[in-house]
Amino acid sequence: MGEVLVITSGKGGVGKTTTTANIGTCLAMMGHRVVLVDADIGLRNLDVVMGLENRIVYDLVDVAHGRCRLRQALVRDRRFEGLFLLPAAQTKDKTAVTPEQMRELCQELKKNNDYVLVDCPAGIEQGFRNAIAGADRAIVVTTPEVASVRDADRIIGLLEASELRDISLVINRIRPKMVKKGDMLDVEDVIEHLAIELLGIVPEDELIIISTNKGEPAVLNSHSKAGEAYRNISKRILGEDVPFMNLDESPGFMSRMKRLLGFRTG
């Protein structure tokens, strides 16, 4: 019996889909059976980010309405054996499925897979309610911006109200230089405000844009800082104890010289 995780945020554009794609790919890379469910009906993106857009035949709404079997709708990833995508419908909207149907669907998917990741749409309306219906755990994604943190707070409140207690936080798109100058909320500020467990921190990374456009999740790129962060997050989901990433820029020429000369650089 697997586990259903919903990735949610309230605010749009903070990186829910990117986070879903990367964690899912990484878990599959480590040998687990993973299904990614795109719950953003009408505005599907996960298929594009995964590079599986042109393989879609059936979608989530077809399954919910019994127009096809669940197995027919699952799109197998071209890179990993155990990775599947259940795409959203693009021509319907959020009211096309009900929370009960989603709950059933998640139950069904849990039986044969280790992890079911549900990519939640932005907002707190029916799309959100559908996405969290079958979830065992929630991952709330936020960026270090006041508006995003505020929405995350609202979402956490709603998750708690619907009896979902296992909630952890991913802080996305941190810019270490801005934090250092005091122009951006730092990790401690966000944690103190939201008061939930931190699952991971992901630095801003231009490679993410390239990778989402190409349909190649960043975890597959060993040079990507964000990819490394998502690999750490995936390990933490599996229960490993991984220290948080040091976000300071690589040491400059002078500090390297000092280190070579035997000075302590702290």
**C-beta of 1 vs 195, nearer to other proteins:** 195
To other proteins, the closest distance from the beta carbon of 215 in angstroms equals 35
Instruction: Give the burial class of 162: count Cβ atoms within 10 A of its Cβ; 0-12 exposed, 13-18 middle, 19 or more buried.
Output: middle
To other proteins, the closest distance from the beta carbon of 177 in angstroms equals 21
Of 136, 153, 189, 216, the one binding other proteins (CB under 8 A) is: 153
Of 93, 100, 160, 249, the one binding other proteins (CB under 8 A) is: 160
Residue 201 · residue 245 · CB < 8 Å? yes
From CA 25, how far away is CA 124, in angstroms rounded? 27
To other proteins, the closest distance from the beta carbon of 153 in angstroms equals 4
From CA 29, how far away is CA 231, in angstroms rounded? 10
The answer to whether residue 151 forms part of the interface with other proteins (CB under 8 A) is yes
**Number of continuous H segments (helices) and E segments (strands) in the chain:** 12, 8
Residue 171 · residue 142 · CB < 8 Å? yes
Angle at 85 (CA atoms; ends 41, 125), nearest 5 degrees: 25
Residue 6 · residue 132 · CB < 8 Å? yes
Of 14, 83, 156, 229, the one binding other proteins (CB under 8 A) is: 156
The answer to whether residue 1 forms part of the interface with other proteins (CB under 8 A) is no
The answer to whether residue 182 forms part of the interface with other proteins (CB under 8 A) is no
Part in contact with other proteins (CB under 8 A); list of ranges 102-110, 145-153, 225-233, 235-243: 145-153
Count residues binding other proteins (CB under 8 A). Answer: 13
Name the site residues for other proteins (rule: CB under 8 A).
124, 150-151, 153-154, 156-158, 160-162, 193, 195
